[in-house]
Structure 1
Amino acid sequence: MLASSQPPNFGKDGHFLAFSKMISFFSIMAADMSSTNNSTPSSSSNGDEVTTATAVTAIILSIVVGVVIIVIVFLIVRCYQKTRSQSANIAVAAAAEETVNAPGSTPPSISIAVTNDSSAAAEPIERFLDDMMRDKPMRFTAQDLERFTQNYDQKLGFGGFGVVYKGRFPNGVPVAVKVLKAAMNKRAEEQFMAEVGTIGRTNHINLVKLYGFCFDRSIKALVYEYMENGSLDRFLFDENHRIPWGKLQEIALGTAKGIRYLHEECQQKIVHYDIKPANVLLTTNFNPKVADFGLAKFCDRERSYVTLTGGRGTPGYAAPELWMPIPVTHKCDVYSFGMLLFEILGRRRNLEFLESVESQEFEWFPRWVWQKFEHGEMENIVSACGIEEKDREKAERMCQVALWCVQYQPEARPSMSSVVRMLEGEEEIVPPTNPFQYMTSLSVSPASGTVSENTSTSRGTGTDDSESSSSRPLIRNSA
């Protein structure tokens, strides 16, 4: 007989061992019974009875052995399935724990315990919950930032806000860490909250992604996706970094779509207030993403105007109403985008200075474009900007859109959805009116290099001084 003090092992490594022991046990029993029957003296009188009993016993024993084998096989299969399921759950839990504990990792995925029958139905729900968690900005520690940047080893740039460093998450994803100045005044704190509150709630292919932030006593920082080609201004104003004008047109269109999303597709309207080439970042494939939401502000869709305390934006790109005591709407972003279009069109700054012996002269490119457009000399604009014939139609379309965007009256400017359709050629462009009719003179301060404007409304003067400037703009023809 089989003697053992240990119970049969039905675990992962003992399925077939237990099965073989059970078969051996019943084989020994069958052998014992057979030997017992064979050792019993037979006689003529009971020979048939013994033979019959032996056959019945063998049949019963065979049936019992068959049933036991079936039960054992069933138990082995069930134990094997249970072991595989437990191993898979342990592996998933370990991976999730490793992801959570890894500094700078994306938010953990949410798993739902389901049976095999319901796993297919729950998969869309799991993907939905995972996306919800990943879209949420994470809060990092100062130690996390030191690990991401290798103790702030590589500097990407700096400005009035602080310094930007290149970093990398433990999974290899590159990031840009914007470290804010240590002493944050009230305005800086407002910009920090605006950045996290606005871009942290958005998700669009033409808006830079905010992975997370750090806000503690030692350091305040924002962690963004890393943009390989930097900002757009480098490819507009640096002759050593030139890209085809057709690609610039695609960048303009993508930027317009990003602003359209902020104005018309978010749950709450977001006004950026600082659209300019330096705040348009480019991926490896030169896909544009609007960045720097430090001045951004939410605006209820039911309200037409935004209340501001002080001027916002960058001179040269900011709409006139931002520097005047008049109501401000989201159309100020449309004006700034129009100024951006002019710089893309000419691949130069809108305002450039020409040093001379006696004085310092300048030419404002947007106004020169209007003069040429007004006299039907669009071909002069295209050729002066070094745009090839194959891109002429797109260039002329961009020129007219820019003139519409910089209209003095905010209500005369188109919406960003209309801007996108016009740039794509899906909406007919009505010839624009003079956007600079309100300007009477421009003067330059040689000491500061600033431009001051004396303005009057067109209704007050009833005159058009667009012909007052006769000098050619400073335009660099591109190779």
Structure 2
Amino acid sequence: MAYVGEQKPYSPRENENEKCGKPQPPNIPGHEVAKVKTKKQNSLYPSASAEDLRYLDMEKDKPDESSPRGVLDACTRDSQSNKSSHENSKSKSSQSGGLFNWSKLLRLWSKKSIKRLASFPPVNVPKISRRKSRSERENPQLCILYNFQNSLVSFTFSELQTATHNFSAENLVGKGGYADVYKGCLKDGQLIAVKRLTKGTADEKTSGFLSELGIIAHVNHPNVAKLIGSCIEEGMHLVFQLSPLGSLGSVLHGSKNTIIGWKERYKIALGTADGLLYLHDSCLKRIIHRDIKADNILLTEDYEPQICDFGLAKWLPKQCSHHNVSKFEGTFGYFAPEYFMHGIVDEKTDVYSFGVLLLELMTGRPALDDQQRSLVIWAKPLLDSNDTKKLIDPSLGENYIPEEMDLVALTASLCIEQSPILRPRMNQASAELDGFMSPILS
């Protein structure tokens, strides 16, 4: 089944209407439920007052501090704990419908962020030890966020303007549903990629900015892009390290003067698999990226791939098998069928996108061509008939290792299965790509 259309990410980010994949309770009539609830409440709290019950409801509605939003909210609560009760009551009354007070958190972020590193003397800087706050001691997630925040550089908007030539079109290297990515060069010669949030209201941009920071704070792997700083002047900006090669999409589908050899392509496939495996299985929190594509794979100087852009990423709790989202986001050509049709998000969603990426490395073709024709639709019959020769990028000629090409073709065919049940998990896909599982799966 083909999914064709304009190759651009979809509509506004959803913060609500998501459901965790859990077994559903039996359908019990409403009046019976009311009886049971009343009986249970009376038995558990025979002498509870209305005020006590309201307190219990408030306890039940407390946010999950293990989630990105919970971590950020806890950070804000801790930073404002020393303010007067008058200020607290004034702050609470200004919130409408439980809307998060973004401006105060951003002032906190800006205040806590370190200045440009060059403004500090290189030596003899006293290390100030502070006693950890109660919230920081009780919630280790806060420690991670604090330490991560203090490791970032707080850029000024003028610095980013200078680095990207005022965000010129020539420096635009990626365009998404919510952000544009520009390449740039700092005064010290360091190359950077600046992700500039462009779509949505001010609150939506701030929410996306903080959510992505909450995800990246828990990620540390050679095959995941490194965030080096941020800027909250004139909008929301995230600054990543960048090599002269740029993204896989720009190298593979850009200028025809650049041809990636098979050795480099195979290395990119293995490295991307390792990065995804880390996000799914080895990261502190289980992360579903949701937008794996060639433009979101940065390449170092030695063609080591780094997964970037966590704007659509989701944390998947251990007790959940999947998320259900009411609006799907991502890039046409990489959508898994169950995500496109039913809004189901889990590890197998990323596995399907990874299979499409492998086909791009094999064939040199984009996920959707200029006529919006699907690479998967074209390649699937050739994979099923084991006609690998017709899939190979003509620019490679005979300069490839047949055994490695067969491993990539087999892994790709498994990853793009229509049914998620038939797709491997990333640990299986990575092992197959390395040749460890070929006797079992072939």
Q: TM-score, with normalisation over the residues of structure 1?
A: 0.56
**Is it true that 1:245 corresponds to 2:279 in the alignment?**
no
The SS at the match of 1:324 is helix
Q: Evaluate the alpha carbon distance shift between residue 256 and residue 106 of structure 1 in structure 2; reply closer, same or farther with a 3 A threshold.
A: farther
How far has the Cα of 1:111 moved from its partner? 6.7
Whole-angstrom CA distance in 1 between matches of 2:397 and 2:438? 22
Which residue number in structure 2 is paired with residue 156 of structure 1? Answer: 171
Unaligned runs of 5+ in 2: 1-113, 129-143
Which residue number in structure 1 is paired with residue 44 of structure 2? Answer: none
**Is it true that 1:198 corresponds to 2:198 in the alignment?**
no
Whether the aligned pair in 1 keeps the contact of 2:191 and 2:244 (CA below 8 Å) is: no
Which residue number in structure 2 is paired with residue 226 of structure 1? Answer: 242
Which residue number in structure 1 is paired with residue 420 of structure 2? Answer: 410
Whether the aligned pair in 1 keeps the contact of 2:243 and 2:300 (CA below 8 Å) is: yes
How far has the Cα of 1:154 moved from its partner? 9.1
Whether the aligned pair in 1 keeps the contact of 2:356 and 2:416 (CA below 8 Å) is: yes
The SS at the match of 2:438 is coil
Whether the aligned pair in 1 keeps the contact of 2:262 and 2:400 (CA below 8 Å) is: no
What amino acid maps onto 1:388 in structure 2? E
Whether the aligned pair in 2 keeps the contact of 1:334 and 1:414 (CA below 8 Å) is: yes
Whether the aligned pair in 1 keeps the contact of 2:218 and 2:284 (CA below 8 Å) is: no
Whether the aligned pair in 1 keeps the contact of 2:206 and 2:236 (CA below 8 Å) is: no
Q: Evaluate the alpha carbon distance shift between residue 166 and residue 227 of structure 1 in structure 2; reply closer, same or farther with a 3 A threshold.
A: same
**Is it true that 1:323 corresponds to 2:340 in the alignment?**
yes
Whose RCO is larger (CA < 8 A, sep 6+)? 2
Which residue number in structure 1 is paired with residue 136 of structure 2? Answer: none
**Is it true that 1:296 corresponds to 2:296 in the alignment?**
no
How far has the Cα of 1:324 moved from its partner? 2.0
What amino acid maps onto 1:254 in structure 2? G
**Is it true that 1:268 corresponds to 2:275 in the alignment?**
no
How far has the Cα of 1:330 moved from its partner? 1.7
Whether the aligned pair in 2 keeps the contact of 1:273 and 1:295 (CA below 8 Å) is: yes
Whether the aligned pair in 1 keeps the contact of 2:355 and 2:416 (CA below 8 Å) is: yes
Whole-angstrom CA distance in 1 between matches of 2:347 and 2:314? 10
How far has the Cα of 1:143 moved from its partner? 5.2
The worse-fitting range, judged by mean Cα deviation, of 155-164 and 238-247 is 155-164
The SS at the match of 1:208 is coil
The SS at the match of 1:178 is strand
How far has the Cα of 1:411 moved from its partner? 2.4
Which residue number in structure 2 is paired with residue 137 of structure 1? Answer: 152
Unaligned runs of 5+ in 1: 1-99, 114-128, 355-361, 433-479
Whole-angstrom CA distance in 1 between matches of 2:122 and 2:323? 38
Which residue number in structure 2 is paired with residue 396 of structure 1? Answer: 406
Pick from 433, 437, 440 the counterpart of residue 423 of structure 1: 433
Whole-angstrom CA distance in 2 between matches of 1:226 and 1:251? 16
How far has the Cα of 1:313 moved from its partner? 1.5
Whole-angstrom CA distance in 1 between matches of 2:120 and 2:382? 52
Matches within 5 A, 1:99-138: 102-103=116-117, 136-138=151-153
Q: Evaluate the alpha carbon distance shift between residue 111 and residue 277 of structure 1 in structure 2; reply closer, same or farther with a 3 A threshold.
A: same
Q: Evaluate the alpha carbon distance shift between residue 112 and residue 245 of structure 1 in structure 2; reply closer, same or farther with a 3 A threshold.
A: same
Whole-angstrom CA distance in 2 between matches of 1:162 and 1:382? 33
**Is it true that 1:176 corresponds to 2:193 in the alignment?**
yes
Whole-angstrom CA distance in 2 between matches of 1:377 and 1:101? 57
Whole-angstrom CA distance in 1 between matches of 2:119 and 2:433? 39
What amino acid maps onto 1:276 in structure 2? K
Which residue number in structure 2 is paired with residue 19 of structure 1? Answer: none
Whether the aligned pair in 1 keeps the contact of 2:259 and 2:395 (CA below 8 Å) is: no
How far has the Cα of 1:235 moved from its partner? 2.7
Identity %: 32
How far has the Cα of 1:145 moved from its partner? 4.0
What amino acid maps onto 1:221 in structure 2? H
Whole-angstrom CA distance in 2 between matches of 1:133 and 1:193? 13
How far has the Cα of 1:379 moved from its partner? 4.0
**If you compute each CA radius of gyration, which structure gives the higher value, 1 or 2?**
1
